[in-house]
Chains A and B, each alone.
Chain A
Amino acid sequence: MQSRDYRDILAGLLLGIAGLAVTIYAWNSYEMGTIRRMGPGMYPFGLGLLMVLLGVIIAVPAWSRSGPPIEVRIYSPLFVLAGVAAFAYVIPHAGLIPAVVAVVAISSLAELKVHPVSLILLIAGLCLLAYLIFGFALGLPIRMFDWSF
């Protein structure tokens, strides 16, 4: 336990900042219009203000109460998200199978233990599964291999 609820203070703060960004962006970029004939900016402008208000409601009471520590994992989000990014980057350049290999191989590192044999079997199995479901059974127009680097 911590003397203040830093998790909620930070949560409210982040929400408030995001809300402020929405409000200011809507105000600067889009027409406000009138209540009767609203422009594109009025509604997001109002939502942004609501976010700021809720941010305050979350953060202020948290100042005077104890709270749980903030738990952040580093490796799991890093490898999982890197795997997804690799898929998104590879698929337009090299096709489905290399993209599947990329996401499976990179995200598996999130376990922080590498079992080479089972990893290779897993990759082979999932490539086959991807081909069978998306290529063979559903007949989607995706290239399995498409080298265009």
Chain B
Amino acid sequence: MDIFSNIVLGLETALSLTNLAYCFLGVLLGTLLGVIPGIGVLTAISILFPISFHLDPTTALILLAGIWYGTTYGGSTASILLNLPGTPANAVTAIDGYPMARQGRAGVALFMTTVASFFGGSVGIILLMLFAPTIAGFALSFRSPEYFALMVMGLVAASMVSTGAPAKGLAMVVVGLVFGTVGMDMYTGVNRFTFGHYELSDGISLVALAMGIFGIAEVITSVRRVNVKEIDPATLTFKAMKPTKEEWRASWGPMLRGSGIGSFFGTLPGTGPSVAAFIAYAFEKRIAKDPSRFGNGAIEGIMAPEASNNASDQTAFIPTLALGIPGSASMAIMLGALLIHGIVPGPNLMAEQPSLFWGLIMSFWIGNLLLLVLNIPLIGIWVRLLTIPYHLLFPAVLMFVCVGTYTVSNSAFDVWVVLFFGALGYVMRIFDFPAPPLLLAFVLGPMLEENFRRTLLLSRGDLSIFVTRPITAVILAVTLVLLVWTLVSNARNRRKAA
């Protein structure tokens, strides 16, 4: 099939009434939860994850993906108006967005970040359409050792780039792998770490784990911390949103460069939209003629990161869909949604489920268009949302967490599991252990173990198989270099700081 007929097939799927409605619902809910500070993208997806269980897999994925890129659009609103990032991916946008708002240019900033988001998202989707099939074709020759090596690289990279000490990120990867072993062992049928609870023999519920370590832990840390500030509505009229010619001219370059940087970092394992936005901002500042403007309301400082984080949102689907290996915790949830519906993503997905694959991609276009159309007239409503006091909001979040988890399999046991992971998530925050690597490792864990054991079965117990297969050896060598380099440079920095 050529690309044209794929696009037609995708449009047919994405434009069906149900899928269109859920795409709309997804981006709307995503924007809404993205606007509200204290609810990150992972919390948003995990709260709404249970709803997707009752849909068919394509629709479920369209909904979840809409929430995922919708939060990144919405997150810039709080960054600009309150200097409080709605999601971590928008944190950099606050550096120049908030000064713009204080100069009375909030309307322009909100309008232009929406444009940048759409532009970056479009670049990301085009690259996804071009490269995902190629990469999948290449990956058809991959066997267990290659998959094992790729997963190890993804996990190591995810733990290295997350904030804080790399050893802590790695520790969370290992803890996530341990949680991934809970349940029946696929080779021997032995129940591992179930402690007599038959509910655990299918493994720990992904929903319960994600809701606990993200939703509950986030509420615990945000209560009595998040405050609502005053916003001047006069800066948010349609007239105030119109950018000047100067501002347009200054925006093209950062938008293009931001999209490029974001697309690249989106495909790498471990680097999500937050890293992409940060690097795009740093790059603009480095090449600017007058770097001192940055931090004082430079429009380049909001365009580059917003184009970048949205581009990376889209290209993050390349490894997830083409290889079946998610690069970040949010992508791991997408993968989990597919697995729950009995679909195994990987190089064969495009051939076996073309309507799912291309339907999802075409829904990205529709979703991004909806966001562009939606955000500009609705900014007033989003702003009013920001003034809902947190003491009314967090009980609602907890209600959705509890009911959502319960309804997945009508099981109160899963709610107790949420409680366990909520407490664990809070303890992890006390000790500054990052949560995303844990979730990623939890989802990849069973696949990692399966490929590891199968590799050694194939090689008759000979460990040298990991260095004699060229692709495997290269991937593992890159991983080792990354690991050593990060640990050494981190130790050196710490010594300097001390």
Contacts and interface: CB of A to CB of B under 8 A. Distances in A.
B198 interface: no
A84 B398 contact: yes
A18 B427 CA distance: 13
Given A76-B220, A107-B395, A140-B54, A48 B433 contact: no
B167 to A, nearest CB: 5
B165 A36 contact: no
A10 B54 CA distance: 43
Contacts of A50: 174
Contacts of A142: 406-407, 410
A44 B412 contact: no
A11 B168 contact: yes
Contacts of B392: 118, 122
A70 interface: yes
B193 interface: yes
Nearest to B186: A40
**SS class of chain B's interface: helix, strand, loop or mixed?**
helix
Contacts of A130: 399, 403
B255 to A, nearest CB: 38
Interface stretch (B60-68, B360-368, B448-456): B448-456
B396 A126 contact: yes
Contacts of A66: 498
A31 B188 contact: yes
Interface residues of B, number: 60
Interface string B263-291: 00000000000000000000000000000
A85 interface: yes
Given A54-B170, A107-B395, A84 B175 contact: no
Interface of A: 7-8, 10-11, 14-15, 18-19, 22, 25-26, 30-31, 34-40, 43-44, 47-48, 50-51, 54-55, 57-58, 61, 65-66, 70-73, 76-77, 80-81, 83-85, 87-89, 91-92, 96, 99-100, 103-104, 107-108, 110-113, 115, 118, 122, 126, 129-130, 134, 138, 140-142
24 contacts: A8-B165, A11-B431, A19-B174, A30-B190, A30-B192, A34-B461, A37-B457, A40-B185, A50-B174, A51-B171, A55-B171, A70-B430, A80-B216, A81-B423, A87-B402, A91-B415, A103-B395, A103-B402, A104-B399, A107-B398, A126-B399, A129-B399, A142-B406, A142-B410
Q: Which 10 A-B pairs have the closest CB atoms?
A: A36-B461, A88-B415, A11-B431, A40-B185, A54-B171, A87-B402, A40-B190, A35-B461, A104-B395, A76-B223
